[in-house]
Structure 1
C-alpha cells in the first residue's frame, strides 16, 4: 500500500520543482521531504525523481506513478470530507402500515429532514401485525400500525372508519358463494372479513389475495369481489360501498415510539398532527 504522506511529498516536489519549496509548502523540513521520497522509491523499487535535472523532474517511472499519486490523494481528500460531513449518519427507523405512507406523509418527512442533514429516514411499510412485532423487537424507533384497539404505550391513536367495497359498476348482488378480495394471511382485515361473512351466514371463497394495498384496490375495481378497507383508501378509486354490509366499526391507527425526547419525539409530534388531520378528513368523507 502506498502511504499518502509519501505520495504527497513526491507530488509536492514535482509541483514546485524543488525539495526546498516542497518542504515549505508541506510545512516539513527538507531532510524529511528527502527521507519520504527515499522511502517511496524503496517501496516501489524505482527512482522517481531525476535529482540531476534542473528544474527537478520525474523519471520515466515517476511519470507513470504521478497520475496515480494525484488520484489517490484526491480520493483521500474526498473520503475525509465525506466522513467529516454528518449528512445522513443518524437514522430514524420508521415502520408504517402501507396506506399510511402516502404523498402527504412523504412530504412531511421531507420537510422534517430539511435543515437536519444529519438525519436519514429509514422507512419500512408492510402489514401492521408484522410491523408491531418488529417494533417490539426493537427494529423501529417509530411505528404507525392498524390494530383493533391501541396498547397502553401508544403515543397517540385515531379512529379509522372501515367500509365494505365493491366495483363502481357492480349492478347486481354477488353470487353464492361470495367472492372475496383479501390481504395475504396475517393481514389485519382478513380475519375481520371472514368473521362478518360468517355472522351474515353467507358462504364465501377467496377470489383474490395480495399483500399489496394497490393490488387489492385494483382487483376490487376489476370486479373480482368485495373487500373491507379503510375509507381513507377510496378517494379517486372506482369503488363504492357495498350497501348490504356498509360501514364497519372503526379500527385504531396508533403511533408508537421508544424515545420521548430529541428528534424522534419531535417527528412523532409532527406525524401525530398529520394523522389527526387524516382522521378528521376521513370522518368528513363518511358524513358527506
Structure 2
C-alpha cells in the first residue's frame, strides 16, 4: 500500500517546484523529501521525476500519479472531520415500530426531514419481536415497542402511553356485553392481547376473545377498521390507529369506565452510543407520542 505521507511529500514537491522550499513547508529535511519520492518510485516501479540540479521535470507516470494523488489526499484530509462528525440534523436514521405508533409518528418525522433535508428517515412497520431483533442486530437505530425487551443487547426506556379503545360501528352508542356478542370481533395480530387488557378491565363476563364470533381479520393496521365501519363487527385498537382512520364518521370509539393502555418504549442498542441525529428523532417521537388527545 502506498504511504499517504510519501504521497503528500510528492504532491507538495510538484506544487512548490523546489526541494528546499518543500522541505520547509513540510518541516522536513531536503533529504527526507528526496527519500519519500525515492520510496514512491521503488514501490511503484517507475521513475516519477527527472532531476535537473535543484529542479525536476515530471515523467508521464509522475503526472498521472500527481493527478490522482491530489484527490486521494483531499479525501483523506476530510476523513477525520467526517468520522468525528455528529450533526443532529444530518445522516440516515433507521426507525422501526408497530403500526399504530408508526401511523402517528411517521408524518411527524417526514416534517422533521422537510425542515432538515440533510436528515434521511428510513421507517419500517413491524411487530414487537421484529423490532427487538432489528435493534439487537444493529439493522435499525431506534426501535419503538409496546412491550419491554428481554434481549441482553436491547435497552428500553418507557417513553409514552397509548390508550386502547373499543371501536364499534358508528350506530352503536353504548356497547354492552350482549351488543358485543351480537356484533362479533374483528381480529388482528394483537387482537387477543388488546381485547384482554381493555375488555377484561371493563366486563366481568370477559374471559377470552374466543367468546366472540370472529367476523374478520386483517394484519394491515390501516385496514382493521374498514370492516368495523361497514358494521361487520367491533375491535380493540390503540388510539393512534383509530385517529388515523380515513372515515371517522363511520366508526365510534368508546371511553370505557376503566381505561387501559400500552406503554411505548424507546429501544436502542445497549452497547452502541446513540448519535445526535437519533436523539433528534427520539425527542420528536416523545413530543409527538405524548401530545394531549385534543392536539393529536
* Superposed counterparts of 1:120-131, under 5 Å: 126-127=126-127, 131=145
CA contact (8 A) 1:135 1:143 kept: no
Task: Confirm or deny that 1:162 pairs with 2:157.
Answer: no
The corresponding residue for 2:222 is 214
1:136 alignment partner, SS class: coil
Cα 1:277/1:190, change in 2 over 3 Å: same
TM-score by length of 1: 0.62
The corresponding residue for 2:154 is 139
Q: How far off is 1:35 after superposition?
A: 0.6
Task: Confirm or deny that 1:184 pairs with 2:165.
Answer: no
Q: How far off is 1:55 after superposition?
A: 4.8
Distance 2:121 2:106 in 1: 15
The corresponding residue for 1:6 is 6
2:223 alignment partner, SS class: helix
Unaligned runs of 5+ in 1: 145-156, 169-173, 283-288
1:229 alignment partner, SS class: strand
Q: How far off is 1:197 after superposition?
A: 10
Cα 1:83/1:72, change in 2 over 3 Å: same
Distance 2:279 2:97 in 1: 16
* Superposed counterparts of 1:1-288, under 5 Å: 1-52=1-52, 55-87=55-87, 96-101=97-102, 102-103=104-105, 106=108, 126-127=126-127, 131=145, 135-137=149-151, 138-144=153-159, 158=161, 160-166=163-169, 180-184=185-189, 188-189=193-194, 202-205=212-215, 207-210=216-219, 212-218=220-226, 220=228, 226-235=234-243, 237-240=246-249, 247-248=255-256, 249-255=258-264, 275-279=289-293
Cα 1:82/1:36, change in 2 over 3 Å: same
1:213 alignment partner, SS class: coil
Unaligned runs of 5+ in 2: 133-144, 172-178, 201-205, 269-273
Cα 1:188/1:21, change in 2 over 3 Å: farther
Distance 2:155 2:95 in 1: 5
CA contact (8 A) 1:14 1:57 kept: no
Flag the structure with more relative contact order, 1 or 2, with Cα contacts below 8 A and sequence separation at least 6. 2
Cα 1:213/1:162, change in 2 over 3 Å: same
Q: How far off is 1:62 after superposition?
A: 0.8
TM-score by length of 2: 0.61
Distance 1:60 1:54 in 2: 20
CA contact (8 A) 1:255 1:272 kept: no
1:57 alignment partner, SS class: strand
The alignment of Structure 1 onto Structure 2 pairs a total of residues equal to: 254
Distance 2:56 2:162 in 1: 79
CA contact (8 A) 1:93 1:140 kept: no
CA contact (8 A) 1:163 1:241 kept: no
Query: CA RMSD, aligned part only?
Result: 5.1
Cα 1:177/1:67, change in 2 over 3 Å: farther
CA contact (8 A) 2:186 2:235 kept: yes
